């Protein structure tokens, strides 16, 4: 297990997360919600236990935005109120103990290789597959 530090774009919010060796990779999400929230073709993520994550600076600057996911259940997005960088999302469909961490906000996470792609059904036609792709979320 290794601890990684993360921070938002403006640096007002910082966190750390403990990742097991098999979590030192990234999952590309092509869902339309991620594309709209990030302004990109996909987001870079890892599903981790909520207990592995903690804010180390600026937790009082963190805001929450909630929308309804494809599951019909709430998705809570936690982001810096200043620069709006999203630290993580809590998809309640995954249970109370799991969060979806944004790996691109871990400076060392920039080196993570893709392990899987989710919401392949929403991938742009010009994007090439880079990892095993699931049409939606894989079964638990």
Q: Is 76 helix (H, G, I), strand (E, B) or coil?
A: strand
> Please, which pLDDT band fits residue 138 given cuts at 50, 70 and 90?
confident
How much is the average pLDDT of 102-119?
95
pTM of the model: 0.92
pLDDT tens-place string over residues 46-80: 999 999 999 999 999 999 999 999 999 999 999 99
What beta strand segments (E) does the chain contain? 2-7, 14-19, 26-29, 43-49, 53-57, 62-68, 74-80, 86-91, 98-102, 114-118
pLDDT at site 35: 96
> Please, which pLDDT band fits residue 137 given cuts at 50, 70 and 90?
confident
Tokens in use for 130?
Answer: 């880079």
pLDDT tens-place string over residues 66-75: 999 999 999 9
What domains, with CATH codes, occur in the chain?
A: 2-122 (2.170.150.70)
């Amino acid at each position: 297990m290794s601890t990684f530090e993360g921070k938002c774009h403006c640096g007002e919010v910082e966190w750390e997360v403990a990742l097991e060796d098999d979590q030192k990779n990234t999952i590309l999400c092509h869902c339309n919600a991620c594309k709209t929230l990030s302004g990109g073709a996909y987001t870079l993520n890892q599903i981790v236990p909520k207990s592995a994550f903690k804010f180390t600076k600026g937790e009082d600057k963190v805001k929450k935005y909630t929308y309804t996911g494809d599951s019909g259940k709430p998705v809570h997005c936690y982001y810096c109120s200043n620069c709006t960088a999203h630290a993580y999302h809590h998809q309640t469909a995954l249970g109370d103990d799991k969060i979806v961490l944004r790996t691109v906000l871990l400076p060392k996470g920039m080196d993570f290789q893709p392990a899987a792609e989710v919401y392949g059904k929403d991938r742009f036609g010009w994007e090439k597959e880079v990892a095993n792709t699931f049409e939606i979320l894989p079964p638990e």
